[in-house]
Amino acid sequence: MEAIELAIGGMTCNACTAHVRKALEAVPGVQSAQVSYAQGMAEVRADTGVAFAVLAAAVAEAGYSARLATPVSTPGSSHATAAHGAGPRIAVIGSGGAAMAAAIKAAGAGAQVTLIERGTIGGTCVNVGCVPSKIMIRAAHVAHLRRQSPFDAGISVTPPAVRRDKLLAQQQSRVDELRHAKYESILLSQPNITSVRGSARFTDAHTLAVTLQDGTVQTVGFDQCLIATGAHPAIPPIEGLKDTPYWTSTEALAAAAIPPRLAVIGSSVVAVELAQAYARLGSQVTILARSTLLFREDPAIGITLSAAFADEGINVLAHTQASKISHADGVFTLHTHRGDIQAERLLVATGRAPNTRDLNLQVAGVKTDARGAIVVNDHLRSNVAHIYAAGDCTDQPQFVYVAAAGGTRAAINMLGGDAALDLSAMPAVVFTEPQVATLGLSEAAAHLRNIETDSRTLALDNVPRALANFDTRGFIKLVAEVGSGRLIGVQAVAAEAGELIQAAALAIHNRMTVQELADQLFPYLTMVEGLKLAAQTFTKDVAQLSCCAG
């Protein structure tokens, strides 16, 4: 028998103590529970071996939170006290942004973490996603500026010689450097984290079987588990496609040569970013978009980006799908209703699917949606109280900063805390040129929620920074709630739009009105000043203002 002291969160009156006590006493092995509203504590008398995680899960199911306080010893319970002092056992499946954030947070709080990774440490972002893609995009930007810029009349053009092997070596060197500094070395420096290399699958709700790289199987028991297995490129069922050497983003980022012609299937973020990068590095690029570019966003975004791509010679075929694909003599042939399209390389970028198929989730009782994504609430908890999930394997937005934030909050909650992930002010950036940045609700999304809106769109020829850059492509659109005037959404297509969107995120997070935004001080000749100007258009004609009118 042992006594376990818990700090209980969420109680609002004495009546809450009965709910917490009932939940705790329903746990197998618990003999009694005494709960104090005034102290915010519960003292549980339980059989030796009853896990804290099970108690915390029971409290969470009742609508409250629990964390370990200093254990209260009873005669003969020194072994149990030491076990609780060591912290709960937490299994983390994956090693990307969500997994690492959770593992570091949990280990720092005293949990014993087992991190399981079947592939390369670091997951998608650092290895085959965000980092290498942004390096490639930046290199393509430099190549483009040497070939063409708004200042060509005064600065002579120098067509670049693109040495793809050198660029690839530079790119991979930085990837290796960041993986070691931000993932591998951190794992080695954390005594509370044990790394296991292999593929994990559930055998029951508290046990994983890990098939190691040598083929042997290791059993990992846990009190709490975080699933952070990421996602993989989704491949459409096009006739003939699977029999061809097509690229996904992984192969496109690691390709040793720039092909003369590149066909891209898809209109997603990955599709448009890599299409423009390859075009700027020397490929003749054709995009097949089932609808329009970035069709889930405000329609003006796709129209503006398509126009910018056309100016660079990128052929965007909207409302076009390939019915059949073949490959012969080093050339792909895509059959469409517009005729055949040929290219030396084909990139398929039609979204990503969650890595959950091999986890045997049904044994643990974890529910997924139709895509196979794990359904979680705002506390990152699945339908199984002690199993959490974060990142691209869930039904949440697929951004690494969302994954990392989710991982951190999941760790807090696994340790008895009460941390929610608020996505109401989540910025998103597409690293094309001009960049696309979005936040909050579009007009269409607001109307689906029965929110009446008022909006203004500011052309960039009203923004002094854009005029000074001789680049006025794009716009900034603000969406406000009618009546309150509160800012609820921002859509921007502009050079460095990603650098201005966070100011808008802070405005939405703090529930600012467009008038309050218009009244703020913004530095002159910055692109973010466009937010102020866009806000001013709700009450005045900014074309009639002086350059830096307040």
Q: Which residues are catalytic?
A: 11, 13, 16, 64, 125, 130, 547-548
Q: How far is CA 488 from the centre of its chain?
A: 21
> DSSP letter at 432?
S
Q: Look at residue 44 and tell me whether its pLDDT is greater than 60.
A: yes
Mean pLDDT for the stretch of residues 6-13: 81
| Residue 13 pLDDT | 76
CA of residue 408 relative to chain centroid, distance: 13
Name the helix (H) or strand (E) containing 270. helix 269-280
Q: What percent of the chain has pLDDT over 70?
A: 97
Give domain status of residue 142, yes or no.
Answer: no
Helix H or strand E encompassing 202: strand 193-204
Domain-located, residue 269: yes
Same domain assignment for residues 339 and 378: no
Chain mean position to CA 22: 38
Establish if 219 belongs to a structural domain.
yes
Instruction: Spell out the alpha helix ranges (H) of 370-463.
Output: 400-414, 443-448
83 has a pLDDT exceeding 60: no
What are the backbone angles phi and psi of residue 148, rounded to the nearest 5°?
A: -160, 135
Q: Rounded to whole angstroms, how far apart are CA atoms 228 and 116?
A: 10
CATH number at residue 78: 3.30.70.100
* Range 133-151 average pLDDT: 97
The residue among 361, 387, 414 that closes a domain is: 414
Name the domain count of the chain.
Answer: 4
- At 544 the pLDDT is 86
Range of the domain at 18: 2-85
> Are 12 and 80 part of one and the same domain?
yes
pLDDT digits (tens, 9 = 90+) for 201-219: 999 999 999 999 999 999 9
Last residue of a domain, one of 414, 439, 462: 414
Query: In this predicted model, what pLDDT tens digit does every residue of 358-385 receive, in sequence order?
Result: 999 999 999 999 999 999 999 999 999 9
Q: How confident is the model at residue 60 (pLDDT cuts 50, 70, 90)?
A: confident
- Confirm whether 497 is domain-assigned: yes
Rounded to whole angstroms, how far apart are CA atoms 130 and 138? 12
Residues 100, 208, single domain; the answer is: yes
> What global pTM score does this model have?
0.85
Residue 213 lies in a domain: yes
Q: Which of 14, 7, 18, 29 is nearest to 62 (CA)?
A: 18
- Residue 61 confidence (pLDDT): 80
Structure token pair of residue 401: 């900063």
One domain for residues 316 and 371: no
Q: In this model, does residue 469 exceed pLDDT 90? A: yes
- Segment 218-242 shows an average pLDDT of 97
* Six-digit token string for 425: 């002010």
Q: What is the mean pLDDT of the chain?
A: 93
Round to whole Å and give the CA distance between 348 and 248: 5
Among 328, 350, 372, give the residue marking a domain's end. Answer: 350
Write down the pLDDT at residue 40. Answer: 85
Contacts 24+ apart (CB under 8 A), 376-379: 376/406, 378/420, 378/421, 378/422, 379/409, 379/410, 379/413, 379/418, 379/419, 379/420, 379/421
Res 86: pLDDT? 58
With 90 as the cut, is the pLDDT of residue 546 above it?
no
Looking at residues 421-434, what average pLDDT do you find? 97
Kindly tell me if the per-residue pLDDT of 304 is higher than 90: yes
pLDDT at 71: 35
Beta bridge partners of 436: 430, 493
Q: What is the pLDDT of residue 549?
A: 64
User: pLDDT: is 268 or 68 the higher one?
Assistant: 268
* The predicted structure's pLDDT at residue 54: 83
pLDDT category of residue 50 using cuts at 50, 70 and 90? confident
Mean pLDDT across 134-143:
98
Q: Are residues 101 and 211 in the same domain?
A: yes
Least confident of 6-15, 25-34, 278-287, 510-519: 6-15
pLDDT band, residue 503 (cuts 50/70/90): very high
Specify the CATH number for the domain of residue 481. 3.30.390.30
**Same structural domain, 39 and 96:** no
**pLDDT confidence of residue 51:** 80
157 found inside a domain:
no
Spatial CA neighbour of 58 closest among 386, 433, 537? 386
- The answer to whether residue 335 is domain-embedded is yes
Chain Cα centroid distance, residue 521 = 31
Whether 286 and 344 map to the same domain: the answer is yes
Give mean pLDDT, residues 17-34.
Answer: 93
Tens digits of residue pLDDT in 346-357:
999 999 999 999
| pLDDT, average across residues 119-139 | 97
pLDDT at 220 over 70: yes
Q: Is pLDDT above 60 for 512? A: yes
The size of the chain, in residues, is: 550
Average pLDDT score over residue span 500-504: 98
| Residue 159 resides in a domain | no
Helix (H) or strand (E) holding 316: strand 315-317
On the question of pLDDT at 158 being above 60, the answer is yes
Do residues 314 and 263 touch, judged by C-beta distance below 8 A?
no
CATH of residue 307: 3.50.50.60
Strands 345-348, 261-265: pairing is: parallel
Place 76 in a pLDDT band, splitting at 50, 70 and 90. Answer: very low
Please tell me whether residues 453 and 484 are part of one structural domain. yes
Q: Are 343 and 204 in a shared domain?
A: no
Q: Are residues 105 and 81 in the same domain?
A: no
276 and 369 in one domain? no
pLDDT mean over 44-63:
84
Q: Is the domain of 287 the same as that of 363? A: no
What's the confidence (pLDDT) of residue 57?
Answer: 80
